[in-house]
Chain A
Amino acid sequence: MMQVMPDRALEGVHVIECGIAGAATYAAKLMADLGADVIKIEDPTSGDPARQLGPFPGGQPHPEKSGTYLYYNCNKQGVTLNLRNSKGRELLDRLLAKADVFVHDFPPAEAALLGLDYARIRQLNPRLVMTSISPFGESGPYRDYKAYDLTTLAAGGWLWLNGWPGHAEMPPLRPFGQQSARQAGVHAAVATMGALFARLRSGGGQHIEVSAQECITSIVEFSLALWTYMDTQTARYGQRPIQPLDFFQCKDGGWIFALTVEEHQWQRLVELMEAPEWTQWEVSANRFARASNWDALRPFMEEWVGQWNTDDLYRAAQENRVPFAIASTLSDLVDSPHIKARGFFVELAHPEAGSFKYPGAPYKLSETPWEIRSPAPALGQHNESILGERLGVATGELASLREAGVV
């Protein structure tokens, strides 16, 4: 036990992050928001590519104002190091020697070029948990394939699943955002916590290798099993083994997602619909029959939904414990009384970008709160405090490193 009770779950855990693909960045964000001390290393000239992604206030690109960067890097300290330079790598080594966790998402070939192999790093710090995230992992024939988010969504089997029934002319479609990176990141964070737990007992660190492709393949619902259990190829136009599980437009133009999973929910929906004839037909008898006959049944439901305003239908369904949801717009989210009551959105001021609401806690821990303590760092904002004060690099040396483009 520690002498002073820490206030945060991961207080005192020192993390070094080299994130260029959104995955290590997200893993480190999860840790930072529960209190870990995260130092983010960025290239001195370009910084994290997320600085270019936007959205930007007023639509004006600026490396300190990218919404993607600002959201995913709260609570971190920012240091710039040119890792293509040996002096830059030496400074990283010195940071790693004092850290508990190192998480990066350089592809394997690039990591090797930068000297980031575990056998060497282990010599610097045998207690370090080093987590390497890459698109395809560190072995196998695709190891060095080039990949962006779209690539691993394709290779993991998600892309194929997304589309509309009856529209084979449209391409398989990406989900919004950078979901391959986020999934690789959260898987990496989970495994890293496991390794820290093991370290409490063994005293030793280890290397964790995470493949984004495998993370996606692990979450594509029953798609893989459909082949390995039933020799059935997945239709990419939506996974609809049961119905209703579909979108409908309401009278006011909003969209409702009509869903019943269990038959008792369907029965309560039938009551809410006042038991129209079609719900009594044999083709409506159970969720699988409804799915098989959905083309014929869908128009009836569409007509009924069209008589409602979105929010009225949502609430009427939920009052009957029928799990409908609205297709929220972003303003619906920010204005939701429920989300407000839970205090989800956090207003945060950033010295250059300004003050905005940010998405907040994905979970609330009773003893050790999730919290935002500081906005995302400006490029190299903490060079002096980290390299100077923590590593003891002299002010003069720091200046010459800066001149040489190392920092």
Chain B
Amino acid sequence: MSGPLDGVRVADFTWVWAGPTCTLQLAHMGAEVIRMESMRRVCTLRMLPPWLGGQPALNRSGYFNQYNQGKRSIQLDISKPEGRELAKRIVAMSDIAAENFAGGVSARLGLGYEDLRKVKQDIVMISMSGYGQTGPDSSFVSYGPAQVPLSGMSALTGYAGWSPMHVGLSYGDPNAGLHAAFAVLSALLYRERTGKGQYIDMSQWESTMAVLGEGIMAYTMNGTQPARNGNRVDHMAPHGVFRCEGEDRWVSIACGSDEEWRSVCQVIGRPTLAEDPRFRSLGDRKANEDELDAIVEEWTLTQEPFEVANRLQSVGIAAFPPLVNREIAEDPHLNARGFFVEKEHPEVGVRKHAGIPWRMSETPCEVWRAAPVMGQDNDYVFGELLGMSSQEIADLVDRQIIN
């Protein structure tokens, strides 16, 4: 491992997607992340597709393997007192502890902040429950996909005149995980400067609202709920996803100024449109947007998405096809940048995974290992780190503490 967090250790009680997204960022930067898993309660992501071969298998989920790259995995049943004691020994050697159970659960397990700080006085601990640790609904259960509607995002997203909708991914999860990583690292910096650890109560609901400020302010300023308006926005036109030649083929086009609009008119071979009073200014184009979009789509309909995008990009217009997963994997740009990670994995072999979306000049970050198979690091953690003999470890396995 290498990177800016080299030497930092994370006791990782997280599961599903939000928590593991937080600890993924730490692993990306070289922290040693020890995921505590258990066969008694297998991480949801291990049991969700896509699995290599199509059949459910503990270590073959691409969903799990994407978001647990570079982490260690041990098996530990923290529902048993002895399991909890071992978890605390790991915490005692760690800088950060992270969990995303429903509110109050970690404290009930005897693994709350008050418990953990007794074994590691300056631990930085984060909880990432759906609703936060306080408030009347704090014990409610939640998952990332439910945070999209709960946060107000669904009511703001959708086709004009259609019902509230999902956004196509469980956005509450990764967004919470990223915000959590930021909060944890800020607290870690504070600890380095002052010697003081602390506890962070993060609510997935609130961290999702944090990225919807422009919608929420519309209500708090004017008491209005912005109407769902498809791909249209107030400040640009044309701004949309237009049909291209072929079946279900599309291109996104965003035109940010009158000057850009004049370039669009040139490219689509209709320079006189630039002086057409229906479309001259942003206000004109917004007032006649149906006509505007029809004109643009008439032009895109006879071409391939990349053909459209290339022509528009050649005159500095923001256009790009909405890439499907296959096109992402084959994208010449992402491949040229070396973005993808292909590490050997004992059960899935070498597969392409999304890598680290930043580059650091002095402390390079890299994924040092593929996601762990369940319990891959039992010997390292119980043996090397905790100093247990193979006899002791075997005994814990027998008694299903290591499980």
Contacts and interface: CB of A to CB of B under 8 A. Distances in A.
Given A9-B186, A342-B206, A56 B221 contact: yes
Interface string B342-386: 000000100111111111111101000000000000000000000
Interface string B122-151: 000010001110111110111101111111
Interface stretch (B79-87, B211-219, B270-278): B211-219
A175 B254 contact: no
A390 interface: no
A261 B44 contact: yes
A293 interface: no
A67 B149 contact: no
A183 B208 CA distance: 11
B48 interface: yes
B50 A229 contact: yes
Contacts of B135: 337-339, 341-342
B211 A179 contact: yes
B150 A358 contact: no
Given A261-B143, A328-B155, A332-B152, A344 B206 contact: yes
Interface stretch (A89-97, A165-173, A273-281): A165-173
B155 A341 contact: no
A161 B168 contact: yes
B65 interface: yes
B193 interface: yes
B92 interface: no
Interface string A188-225: 11110111111010101111111101110111111111
Most buried by A among B316, B323, B356: B323
B146 A222 contact: no
Interface stretch (A37-45, A294-302, A317-325, A379-387): A317-325
A113 interface: no
B29 interface: yes
A259 B145 contact: yes
A56 B316 CA distance: 30
A99 B87 CA distance: 41
A371 to B, nearest CB: 13
Nearest to B4: A198
Given A67-B217, A190-B181, A332-B152, A364 B201 contact: yes
B59 to A, nearest CB: 12
B207 interface: yes
A368 B184 CA distance: 12
A127 B236 CA distance: 40
Contact of B48 (A2, A205, A242, A339): A242
B362 A30 contact: no
Interface stretch (A75-83, A139-147, A398-406): A139-147
A70 interface: yes
B316 A146 contact: yes
Given A197-B4, A333-B209, A209 B149 contact: no
A6 B328 contact: no
B241 interface: yes
Contacts of A309: none
Given A232-B50, A368-B187, A215 B337 contact: no
A91 to B, nearest CB: 25
A262 B336 contact: no
Contacts of A338: 131, 135-138
Contact of A173 (B136, B231, B320): B231
A195 B252 contact: no
Contacts of A239: 168-169
B151 A209 contact: no
Contacts of A191: 29, 358, 360
B210 interface: yes
Interface stretch (B32-40, B157-165, B394-402): B157-165
Given A171-B243, A368-B190, A255 B154 contact: yes
Contacts of A149: 254
B303 interface: no
Contact of B185 (A146, A194, A214): A194
B321 A195 contact: no
Contacts of A67: 213-214, 217-218, 221
Nearest to B29: A194
A341 B360 CA distance: 41
A157 B353 CA distance: 14
Contacts of A339: 135, 205-206
Given A5-B194, A154-B320, A157-B323, A55 B137 contact: no
Interface in B39-98: 44, 48-52, 54, 60-63, 65-66
Contact of A259 (B51, B143, B151, B359): B143
A136 B243 contact: no
A155 B332 CA distance: 12
Given A57-B222, A171-B240, A228 B169 contact: no
A67 B201 CA distance: 27
Contact of B213 (A71, A225, A324, A326): A71
Contact of A171 (B8, B163, B242, B353): B242
A360 B217 CA distance: 12
A227 interface: yes
Nearest to A205: B362
A358 B152 CA distance: 15
Contacts of A234: 324-325
B111 interface: no
Nearest to A341: B135
Given A255-B154, A327-B155, A222 B167 contact: no
B185 A193 contact: yes
Contacts of B155: 255, 327-330
Given A151-B252, A220-B169, A245-B145, A327 B154 contact: yes
A53 B363 contact: no
A188 B50 contact: no
Contacts of B134: 341-342
Contact of B362 (A54, A204, A220, A249): A204
A308 interface: no
A350 to B, nearest CB: 11
A208 B235 CA distance: 31
B108 interface: no
A236 interface: yes
Given A67-B214, A146-B318, A331 B219 contact: yes
A224 B65 CA distance: 11
A304 interface: no
Given A194-B5, A330-B218, 4 more contacts: A176-B167, A197-B188, A221-B17, A364-B202
30 contacts: A6-B193, A9-B189, A34-B186, A52-B235, A154-B323, A162-B168, A172-B241, A176-B157, A176-B212, A183-B178, A186-B175, A195-B4, A197-B185, A220-B325, A222-B62, A223-B328, A226-B50, A230-B51, A238-B166, A247-B166, A262-B44, A318-B141, A327-B164, A334-B216, A339-B205, A345-B220, A359-B216, A362-B179, A364-B200, A367-B198
Q: Which 10 pairs between the two chains have the least Cβ-Cβ distance?
A: A225-B62, A67-B217, A161-B168, A162-B168, A193-B185, A198-B4, A214-B357, A330-B219, A71-B213, A206-B362
